[in-house]
Amino acid sequence: MDIRRIDDRISVSPQITADDVATLKAQGFTAIVNNRPDGEDAGQPDGDSIAAAAESAGLTYHAIPITHAGFSHPQIDAMTAVLADAPGQVLAYCRSGTRSCNLWALASAKQGEASDTLVAKGQAAGYDLSGMRPTLDALSGR
């Protein structure tokens, strides 16, 4: 797994499998967020199998799929709720980790976190959020 830590609350990664869930639990994750719609690619694990593995391991599982249509306020609000309610580290995944990082940044901006901070955290994890800066600024009210 290519887990990239964003901050103390969240890490992102490319697609995980049900077999990865036990390792995530051992690493201290308490919640998994699936930002990938089922059927996006042939052969990708379906969300139900990962949800079942998460439940079996005692982790919470949330599906907030991001399609080609982009991000919406309900998706941003759902991510905000997951981050607020999780008792520990959250792992969000999609095909490459990019959508997960972007959704985290949008949710954080909507909670008032500064765009400079978000862009820096994304960059430290290997994601370029600079193109989202106007949206992050608008959401944060800065």
Query: Tens digits of per-residue pLDDT, 5-14?
Result: 999 999 999 9
Under a CB-based contact definition with an 8 Å cutoff, are residues 132 and 104 in contact?
no
The answer to whether the beta carbons of residues 14 and 8 sit under 8 Å apart is no
**Structure-model confidence comparison of residues 141 and 73, the more confident one:** 73
* Dihedrals phi, psi of 63, to nearest 5 degrees: -105, 115
- Record the pTM: 0.91
HSE-up (13 A, CA, CB side) for residue 40: 17
- CA count, 13 A, side-chain hemisphere, 62: 21
Taking only the tens place, the pLDDT of each residue in 61-83 is 999 999 888 889 999 999 999 99
Average pLDDT for 124-131: 94
